[in-house]
């Protein structure tokens, strides 16, 4: 049974079904073996005390949680995929099946991936490979540790099927994944309604989002509250994009159906982390033009916002939407300062901080220093000078090309310097490069050996504790002080 901290609140049911979602029927699997259970986040939403049997019931068989949605809901949406509009989308292998409040009062969804076919599966089988589930655990755990506002992988259960995939050795093992997310409403959710010419439904969906996630705007007039809401989404998206950049993260498929209205990173596919600074690095093997390369992620985010903003045109004046959108570059610059200085564990100086970041990234690109190595060596700024001197990259730090950056670093005050005493900083940086991901998967695939996977999660956990980023700071935008 859920614990006393379980706070069910299935608000999405108030939307009433079409044109927003359709009921879905979970698949029935040959077998179920729990491979991953997120202790921290299941406890945070009152589900940590579920027995092993009940965990399978609610996270693989999808029996309804108490006082929650009675039927899983496959959400409807469209999307621009590599800037080509696709009207044949929707939840094709997943659904939202519960909503609840966490201790901060946020409304969170439980959403599945690999739970079977829906009305939107087209010719696909509605399944997820076990390797895909393992990759999503690693991505979300790593991003959370690095201070990125991300969905949480709360469960992965192996399901005993053999899947055929063109991008994996096949047949390959299957699983069903459940994520805990701060809404599954996507930019593409609004695009579908605009495509159908349903301005009334756009208004109802926006009202739902504002009421549940930005309730301080709810008392305003329809056009005014939607305008302020769009401004907040622009700001949140700018912050998320800056977080990706500071984490050295390349999402890979920044389509409009993969971006949500609360600025939370979710729905992971062919992601990568940078080994070295490379603005042209792409994660997806099929991204031949480099559209979603590391250095083009801000451009992609702003383009997606323009597409989302266009769906609100029946409710908000075009000039107001354009004004909000044009704030993105400045908001992104501000967010870059906050995100990169958080990664360095120092406080911005208030002058020339963005220029410092630009110079730093240029130096990192020129020297090809390992991305995570630099932020590990210099976390805390000058207070970590001795650690940097003992680094494998110490010769780069002694080079005259680094001298201006070192001088700047010496001027920044460390934030919560007590963090530097954490044992993590006496070891080596925790990275998540594709070679290690494959090395973690290989023993699982070959002999069902999960030891490297479990070891990596422990390493990420130590890094998360050491950095101690307060991810909740990303939930609300600080760029809305002028709003009611």
- DSSP character string of 13-26: GGG-STTTEEE---
Average pLDDT value for residue range 227-251? 98
Alpha helices in 328-433 (DSSP H): 328-344, 353-367, 371-377, 385-389, 394-398, 403-411
Helix (H, G, I), strand (E, B) or coil at 227: helix
Residue (of 59, 98, 56, 91) closest to 76 by Cα position: 91
With beta carbons less than 8 A apart as the criterion, state whether 188 and 79 touch: yes
Question: In the predicted model, is pLDDT for residue 471 greater than 60?
Answer: no
With beta carbons less than 8 A apart as the criterion, state whether 100 and 209 touch: no
Spatial separation of the C-alpha atoms in residues 400 and 445, rounded to whole Å: 48
- pLDDT at residue 169 in the model: 85
- pLDDT at residue 474 in the model: 43
Range name among 166-170, 188-192, 244-248 with the lowest pLDDT average:
166-170
> DSSP label at 417?
G
Please provide the DSSP assignment of 302-347 as one string: HHHHHHHHHTTTTTS-HHHHHHHHHTHHHHHHHHHHHHHHHHHTB-
Question: In the predicted model, is pLDDT for residue 397 greater than 70?
Answer: yes
Report whether the peptide linkage leading into residue 19 is cis, meaning its omega lies within 30 degrees of zero: yes
Q: What are phi and psi of 135, to 5 degrees?
A: -60, -40
| Residue environment code for 157-167, b if the CB has 16+ CB neighbours within 10 A, otherwise e | bbbebebeeee
Query: In which element (H, E) is residue 384 found?
Result: none
**Cβ atoms < 10 Å from Cβ of 477:** 21
What's this model's pTM, rounded to 2 decimal places? Answer: 0.95
Average pLDDT value for residue range 272-299? 97
Report whether the peptide linkage leading into residue 171 is cis, meaning its omega lies within 30 degrees of zero: yes
Helix (H, G, I), strand (E, B) or coil at 96: strand
- Helical packing angle, 187-195 and 297-310, nearest 10°: 40
Residue (of 170, 154, 194) closest to 34 by Cα position: 154
- pLDDT at residue 274 in the model: 99
Range name among 196-205, 293-302, 418-427, 467-476 with the lowest pLDDT average:
467-476
| Confidence bin at 410 (pLDDT 50/70/90) | very high
pLDDT tens for 71-109 read 999 999 999 999 999 999 999 999 999 999 999 999 999
Known catalytic residue: 257?
Answer: yes
Residue (of 64, 75, 163, 151) closest to 106 by Cα position: 151
Question: In the predicted model, is pLDDT for residue 445 greater than 80?
Answer: yes
Q: What are phi and psi of 301, to 5 degrees?
A: -65, -45
Residue with tokens 């990275």: 431
Average pLDDT value for residue range 134-161? 98
Mean pLDDT of the chain: 95
Average pLDDT value for residue range 217-233? 94
| Confidence bin at 2 (pLDDT 50/70/90) | confident
* CA atoms within 13 A of residue 190's CA, in its CB half-sphere: 30
In which region does residue 394 sit, left (phi positive, over 0), alpha (psi from -120 to 50) or beta (all else)?
Answer: alpha
Residue (of 287, 328, 294, 283) closest to 309 by Cα position: 328
218-227 long-range contacts, CB within 8 A, separation 24+: 220/484, 222/315, 223/315, 223/316, 223/317, 226/312, 226/315, 226/316, 227/316, 227/317, 227/320, 227/321, 227/324
**Cβ atoms < 10 Å from Cβ of 54:** 15
| Confidence bin at 222 (pLDDT 50/70/90) | confident
Spatial separation of the C-alpha atoms in residues 255 and 469, rounded to whole Å: 28
Kindly name the residue from 22, 91, 214, 257 that is annotated as catalytic.
257
Of 168 and 315, which is predicted with more confidence?
315
Q: What percent of the chain has pLDDT over 70?
A: 97
Partnered with residue 80 across adjacent β-strands are: 85
Question: In the predicted model, is pLDDT for residue 475 greater than 60?
Answer: no
Q: What are phi and psi of 34, to 5 degrees?
A: -70, 120
Partnered with residue 59 across adjacent β-strands are: none
Average pLDDT value for residue range 386-401? 96
pLDDT tens for 34-65 read 999 999 999 999 999 999 999 999 999 999 99
| Confidence bin at 3 (pLDDT 50/70/90) | confident
In which region does residue 16 sit, left (phi positive, over 0), alpha (psi from -120 to 50) or beta (all else)?
Answer: left
């Amino acid at each position: 049974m859920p614990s006393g901290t379980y706070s069910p609140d299935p608000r999405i049911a108030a939307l009433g079904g079409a044109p927003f979602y359709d009921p879905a029927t979970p698949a029935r699997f040959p077998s179920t073996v729990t491979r991953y259970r997120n202790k921290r986040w299941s406890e945070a939403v009152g589900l940590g005390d579920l027995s092993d049997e009940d965990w399978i019931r609610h996270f693989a068989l999808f029996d309804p949680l108490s006082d929650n949605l009675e039927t899983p809901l496959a959400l409807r949406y469209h999307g621009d995929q590599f800037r080509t509009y696709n009207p044949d989308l929707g939840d094709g292998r997943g659904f939202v099946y519960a909503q609840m409040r966490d201790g901060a009062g946020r409304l969170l969804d439980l959403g599945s991936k690999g739970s079977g076919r829906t009305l939107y599966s087209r010719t696909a089988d509605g399944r997820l490979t076990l390797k895909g589930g393992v990759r999503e655990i690693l991505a979300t755990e790593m991003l959370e540790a690095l201070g990125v506002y991300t969905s949480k992988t709360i469960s992965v259960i192996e399901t005993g099927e053999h899947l055929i995939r063109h991008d994996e050795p096949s047949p390959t093992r299957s699983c069903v994944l459940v994520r805990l997310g701060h809404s599954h409403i996507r930019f593409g959710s609004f695009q579908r309604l605009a495509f159908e010419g349903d301005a009334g439904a756009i208004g109802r969906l926006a009202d739902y989002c504002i009421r549940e996630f930005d309730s301080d705007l709810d008392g305003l007039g329809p056009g005014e509250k939607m305008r302020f809401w769009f401004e907040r989404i622009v700001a949140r998206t700018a912050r998320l994009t800056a977080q990706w950049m500071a984490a050295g993260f390349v999402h890979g498929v920044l389509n409009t159906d993969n971006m949500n209205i609360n600025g939370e990173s979710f729905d992971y596919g062919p992601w990568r982390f940078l080994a070295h600074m490379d603005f042209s690095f792409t994660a997806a093997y099929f991204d031949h033009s480099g559209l979603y390369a590391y250095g083009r992620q801000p451009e992609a985010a702003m383009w997606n916002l323009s597409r989302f903003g266009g769906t609100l045109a029946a409710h908000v004046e075009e000039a107001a939407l354009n004004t909000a959108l044009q704030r993105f570059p400045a908001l992104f610059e501000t967010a870059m300062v906050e995100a990169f200085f958080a990664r360095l564990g120092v406080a911005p100086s208030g002058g020339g901080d963005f220029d410092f970041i630009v110079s730093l990234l240029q130096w990192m690109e020129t020297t090809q220093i390992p991305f995570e190595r630099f932020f590990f060596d210099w976390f805390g700024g000058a207070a970590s000078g001795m650690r940097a001197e003992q680094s494998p990259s110490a010769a780069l730090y002694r080079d005259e090309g680094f001298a201006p950056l070192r001088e700047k670093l010496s001027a920044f005050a460390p934030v919560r310097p007590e963090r530097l005493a954490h044992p993590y900083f006496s070891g080596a940086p925790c990275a998540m490069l594709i070679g290690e991901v494959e090395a973690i998967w290989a023993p699982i695939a070959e002999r069902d050996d999960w030891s490297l996977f479990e070891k990596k999660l422990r390493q990420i956990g130590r890094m998360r504790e050491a950095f101690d980023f307060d991810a909740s700071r990303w939930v609300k935008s600080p760029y809305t002080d002028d709003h009611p």
